[in-house]
Structure 1
Amino acid sequence: MPSHVEFESTPYTRVRRPTPQIVATLFGKVRLWRVGYRPTHRTGEPTLFPVALQLGLAAGATPAIAERAAYYQSEAGATQRRTRQRLRDEHGLRWGIKKLREVVARVADGMAAARHDVQVQNILRLLEQAWVGTGPHKPVLSVGRDGISFGLPVRGGTVFEVATAGTVTVMNRRGRRLGTVYLAHTPESKQGTMSRNLTRLVTAVLQAWERPLPRLCYVTDAGDNESAYYATVLRPMRHPRTGDRLDGVRVVDYYHASERL
């Protein structure tokens, strides 16, 4: 191993003795011996372990087990307790909540940069599938969003904000759902992040779709944020390439509406 290396324009000096790290894998834990490098000029940067970077370790976990843990946690109905139980039963790993959250957060951060482009491509693929299909109807591009109605406490429990989830769904010519792309964001006043990302996604799809437009619709309940998004964003929206006004249909969820009548 060289005595000195440079990483991201910062010089590092090799530590004399290797140090062990316990690494989580698909088949349990292994001990990895690492040679570390500290910043030569004590810039405050953490010790660098080249082998860990080359292996793609995230919070002491291999990419394979990190992906598996994130998948377990993202499944419908999953809880942190159930995810930890599956990791213990199927992989021999006894993770605490802090460890699980750290690994899942690393996976989420790593996927964030590519998420938008992948979602756009998925929707375009579904639209193409719907377009070439047979049936009596036009394909449908349906946008939806909703909030967690009970709210979540933030700022020490003194302020309640609502988390939000969004969907972009493609229906084929027979009215059957071909697939859905999902968005979700943590509690935020007026849900601005969701509005920006959902608008960005819909705009990118319309920009890239070169065939005649599918039928456009917006399906929600009549909550404040959902109604405001339709009134201020979707209703006045114009086609990003042609500038033509977009004609869409708003659908208010019958069950939510009937509960309030």
Structure 2
Amino acid sequence: MKSIRPKNPSAWSLRDGTEGCERETELECGSKDKFMKVENLKLPESGGAVVDMEMSLEECPLERIRSQDFLLNSELVSSKKEHYSGDRSNDDLELPLFDFTSIAAATENFSDENKLGQGGFGCVYKGFVEGQKIVVKRLSKNSGQGTKEFKNEVKLIAKLQHRNLVRLLGCCVDADEKMLIYEYMENKSLDSFLFDKAKRYLLDWQKRFNNICGIARGLLDLHQDSRFRIIHRDLKASNILLDGELDPKISDFGMARLFGQDQTEANTKKVVGTYGYMCPEYAMDGLF
């Protein structure tokens, strides 16, 4: 925010904001200091501020600042509950929200030079934010994988922590723009090696065996060891990302489904995923 800086800039650059922020200059209550409209923020849940949703902009005078009684006003601070399509159940997501301007700058306005790939969901770009390499998944505005899948992926991945599951760094919602920001994986996806005559030889049998074991460990965490039982439903080579050591991480949870802890199977009315990668009973009868 304008006139505000992090107390610990080095920690902040690593997306650790636990030490909080401070003013660059002290308040000078009078004609110099005024309210600034700030959008896309969640209202504080406890401590430090009182929220008066009934007070108008005109009724919130500067004297409130003088008395150190900081009242947030519904016009001054837009809580943007529609960050996740108006679903208030998303308010508990502890995930950084990036603004569109910073993501556009990080990807050089989504230039072709930074494009890593494209699919039915939209495009994937690489970029830099505060010296950190990131991957931006920009959902197509006309994609069938829209708001529901976006919310699904954010809610699921934000709760996952495993070395063989791709790490979600944050997301961006701005008007009809929806983007997911992931950790950068140097070697893209597994299919870019398997189906490339020149690169497939870099995957010797030991690397392939390590990939199989890593994917299996990630699935075991999803299916059994995690606090949430998750079925991916679109597991394929293009959704397995490889780091600098060619170790695998499962990605793209847009089609995933959350199971009950004691649930081992389900019938679904709508079969989702990619034909050719589905088990027959699911492709034909929706049973998984």
User: TM-score normalized by structure 1?
Assistant: 0.28
Q: Per residue, is there more strand in 1 or in 2?
A: 1
Whose Rg is larger? Answer: 1
